[in-house]
Amino acid sequence: MTSKLYIRTFGCQMNEYDSARMADVLAASDGLAPTAHPDDADVILFNTCSVREKAQERVFHDLGRVRALKDARPEVIIGVGGCVASQEGAAIVARAPWVDVVFGPQTLHRLPDLIRARRATGRPQVDVSFPEIEKFDHLPPPRVEGASAFVSIMEGCSKYCSFCIVPYTRGEEVSRPFEDVLTEVADLALQGVSEITFLGQNVNAWRAPSPDGENGVADLALLLEYSAEVPGIERLRYTTSHPREMTARLVAAHGRLPKLASHLHLPVQSGSDRVLAAMKRGYTALEYRSVVKRLRAERPDLSLTSDFIVGFPGESDADFEATLRLIDDVGFDGAFSFAYSRRPGTPAADLPGQVPADVARGRLARLQAALDGQYRAKSAAMVGHRERVLVTGPSAKDPCELAARTDNNRVVNFRGDATLVDRWVDVVVTGAEPHSLRGELASQNR
Ligand code: SAM
Ligand code: F3S
pLDDT, tens digit, for every residue of 247-299? 999 999 999 999 999 999 999 999 999 999 999 999 999 999 999 999 999 99
What is the number of the ligand 2 atom nearest to the C-alpha of 201? 5
Give the closest ligand to the alpha carbon of residue 202: 1
Q: Which residues of 208-229 are buried (b: 16+ CB within 10 A; e: fewer)?
A: bebeebeeeebbbbbbbbbbbe
What is the number of the ligand 1 atom nearest to the C-alpha of 14? 9
- Cα–Cα dist 326/171, whole Å: 32
* Residue 133 pLDDT level (bands cut at 50, 70, 90): low
* C-beta of residue 49 within 8 angstroms of C-beta of residue 15: yes
pLDDT value for 350: 94
Mutate to test the pocket of ligand 2, among 50, 87, 160 (most ligand atoms within 8 A of CB): 160
429 vs 105, more confident: 429
pLDDT value for 143: 77
pLDDT, tens digit, for every residue of 144-180? 889 999 999 999 999 999 999 999 999 999 999 999 9
228 vs 14, more confident: 228
Q: Which residues of 152-165 are buried (b: 16+ CB within 10 A; e: fewer)?
A: bbbbbbebebbbbb
Q: What is the DSSP string of 187-225?
A: HHHHTT--EEEEE-TTGGG-EEEEEEEETTEEEHHHHHH
- Cα–Cα dist 29/115, whole Å: 11
Residue owning the nearest CA to atom 20 of ligand 1: 164
Q: Separation of 266 CA from ligand 1 center, angstroms?
A: 11
Q: What angle do CA 421, 426, 428 make, to 5 degrees?
A: 115
Nearest to 197 by CA among 147, 247, 156, 266: 147
Residue type at 266 in one-letter notation? L
Residue owning the nearest CA to atom 13 of ligand 1: 307
Residue type at 8 in one-letter notation? R
pLDDT value for 55: 80
pLDDT, tens digit, for every residue of 290-346? 999 999 999 999 999 999 999 999 999 999 999 999 999 999 999 999 999 999 999
With 90 as the cut, is the pLDDT of residue 53 above it? Answer: no
Nearest to 194 by CA among 399, 415, 410, 425: 425
* Residue 142 pLDDT level (bands cut at 50, 70, 90): confident
pLDDT, tens digit, for every residue of 215-242? 999 999 999 999 999 999 999 999 999 9
What is the number of the ligand 1 atom nearest to the C-alpha of 163? 23
pLDDT value for 301: 93
Q: How far is CA 205 from CA 156, 184, 198, 208, 238, in A?
A: 11, 19, 12, 10, 11
* Residue 140 pLDDT level (bands cut at 50, 70, 90): confident
Mutate to test the pocket of ligand 1, among 12, 50, 86, 164 (most ligand atoms within 8 A of CB): 164
Q: Which residues of 102-132 are buried (b: 16+ CB within 10 A; e: fewer)?
A: bbbbbbbbbbeebbebbeeeeebbbbbebee
Tell me the average pLDDT across 55-73. 90
With pLDDT > 90 as the criterion, what percentage of the chain qualifies?
88
pLDDT value for 375: 96
With 60 as the cut, is the pLDDT of residue 446 above it? Answer: no
pLDDT value for 129: 86
pLDDT, tens digit, for every residue of 91-103? 999 999 999 999 9
With 80 as the cut, is the pLDDT of residue 419 above it? Answer: yes
| Integer-rounded Cα radius of gyration of the chain | 23
> What length does the chain have?
446
With 60 as the cut, is the pLDDT of residue 445 above it? Answer: no
- Cα–Cα dist 361/182, whole Å: 44
With 70 as the cut, is the pLDDT of residue 132 above it? Answer: no
Which residues share a beta bridge with 208? 218
* C-beta of residue 142 within 8 angstroms of C-beta of residue 19: no
Work out the mean pLDDT of the chain and round it to a whole number.
94
